[in-house]
């Protein structure tokens, strides 16, 4: 009996420690929702029914407080990381200011809920159609509900970690969707990670999402494979970053080299820091400076 109680106590303490560390690195939603608003910006939370997922899904929006009649604004979809929430971008970064009209006309910033899906249609879980939810259901709801531009030239995506992976993958496999792809510390190598005892749980989760090791499904989700056949001339502009102290620096450097070899339109930047919102927030100004150069405000 004592051994059982001791084991339960250990598991409980490990769980508490895991939650503490995750929150410390901003991997989980905040305990209290405290968005960082900006002057001239308003916020709305939306819940809508996704046909792809067969359930209600939430998203958050920043947009200018004042809009001219008939005005259509470019839309930037902001994708959170693994274990995160649609709250993350608004609570951990100062991205709200880019929605203001004073900032070159204003933007609509859309922050969807992605759970831990990598925003992909799960290969071994047919009901988890997160890519269809993102590129079909969500965009349709945003464009019906808000004064949003409806062309490729008026759409961009920016993601951190898991969200950064999705942005790169979609830029290569669905280049018709948006004109700019901002990938901040993208988990670029997840489909190619092999089984290890230390990351056994991760391996099985990735198998569910990307398919069996060596399968065509797995290959079709791998940016290092997709970049070999994607058309550089038709691919969105790719803005790639990584922190100098994070484990994802090396695979991102390798991927940037592939982009260079095949003459994609891209840029790659590093900054001191690790895989967390401190480093990601520091990368946002450079990313949005490039983004604003590529969006068409007449869409």
Kindly report the CATH number assigned to the domain that includes residue 120. 3.40.50.1820
Confirm whether 225 is domain-assigned.
yes
pLDDT > 80? residue 19 = no
Give the helix ranges, DSSP H, for 211-248: 216-220, 223-229
Q: Where are the alpha helices (DSSP H) in 153-248?
A: 162-173, 200-210, 216-220, 223-229
pTM, two decimal places: 0.89
Q: Cα–Cα distance between 255 and 267 in angstroms, integer?
A: 11
Are 112 and 251 members of one domain?
yes
CB 108 within 8 A of CB 193: no
Pairing of strands 41-50, 55-64: antiparallel
DSSP 3-state assignment of 173? helix
pLDDT at residue number 196? 66
- Which pairs with CB-CB distance under 8 Å and at least 24 residues apart come from 244-251? 244/270, 244/271, 244/272, 244/273, 245/272, 245/273, 245/274, 246/185, 246/273, 246/274, 246/275, 246/279, 247/275, 248/185, 248/186, 248/187, 248/188, 248/189, 248/275, 251/188, 251/189
Residues 7 and 49 in one domain: no
How large a percentage of the chain has pLDDT more than 90?
A: 78
Q: Report the share of the chain in percent with pLDDT over 70.
A: 87
Are 197 and 230 within one domain? yes
Same domain, 130 and 5: no
pLDDT mean across residues, the chain: 88
Beta carbons of 226 and 235 less than 8 angstroms apart: no
Mean pLDDT of 52-61: 98
Asked if residue 28 has pLDDT above 80, the reply is: no
Shared domain for 24 and 43, answered yes or no, is no
pLDDT at position 195 is: 61
Task: DSSP letter for 250, please.
Answer: H
Instruction: Give domain status of residue 33, yes or no.
Output: no
Position 27 scores a pLDDT of 44
Among the listed residues 102, 94, 86, 106, the one whose alpha carbon sits nearest the alpha carbon of residue 44: 86
Q: Could you tell me if 285 and 209 lie in one domain?
A: yes
Count of domains for the chain: 2
Tell the burial category of 34 from Cβ atoms under 10 Å away from its Cβ (0-12, 13-18, 19+): exposed
Q: Are residues 8 and 80 in the same domain?
A: no
The rounded distance, in Å, linking the Cα atoms of 284 and 276 is: 13
Q: Does residue 75 share a domain with residue 120?
A: yes
pLDDT at 168 (0 to 100): 98
Residue 9 has a CB neighbour count (10 Å cut-off) of 10
Indicate if the pLDDT at residue 115 is higher than 70. yes
DSSP class of residue 47 equals E
Range(s) of the domain holding residue 79:
38-294
115 shares a domain with 16: no
Q: Which has the higher per-residue pLDDT, 203 or 210?
A: 210
């Amino acid at each position: 009996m004592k051994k059982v109680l001791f084991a339960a106590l250990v598991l409980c303490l490990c769980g508490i420690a895991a939650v503490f560390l995750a929150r410390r690195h901003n991997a989980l939603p905040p305990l209290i929702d405290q968005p960082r608003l900006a002057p001239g910006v308003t916020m709305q939370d939306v819940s809508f029914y996704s046909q792809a997922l067969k359930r209600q899904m939430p998203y958050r929006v920043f947009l200018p407080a004042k809009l001219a009649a008939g005005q259509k604004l470019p839309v930037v979809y902001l994708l959170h990381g693994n274990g995160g929430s649609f709250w993350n971008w608004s609570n951990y970064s100062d991205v709200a200011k880019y929605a203001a009209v004073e900032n070159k006309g204003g933007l609509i910033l859309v922050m969807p809920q992605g759970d831990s899906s990598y925003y992909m249609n799960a290969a071994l879980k047919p009901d988890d159609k997160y890519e269809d939810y993102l590129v079909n259901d969500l965009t349709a709801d945003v464009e019906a509900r808000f004064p949003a531009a409806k062309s490729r030239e008026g759409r961009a995506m920016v993601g951190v970690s898991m969200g950064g992976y999705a942005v790169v993958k979609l830029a290569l496999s669905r280049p018709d969707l948006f004109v700019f792809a901002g990938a901040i510390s993208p988990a670029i190598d997840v489909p190619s990670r092999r089984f290890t005892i230390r990351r056994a749980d991760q391996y099985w989760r990735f198998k569910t999402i990307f398919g069996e090791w060596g399968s065509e499904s797995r290959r079709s989700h791998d940016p290092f494979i997709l970049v070999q056949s994607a058309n550089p001339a038709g691919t969105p502009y790719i803005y790639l970053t990584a922190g100098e102290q994070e484990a994802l620096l090396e695979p991102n450097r390798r991927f940037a080299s592939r982009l260079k070899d095949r003459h994609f339109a891209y840029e790659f930047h590093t900054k001191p820091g690790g895989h967390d919102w401190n480093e990601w927030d520091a990368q946002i100004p450079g990313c949005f400076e490039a983004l604003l150069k590529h969006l068409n405000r007449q869409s």
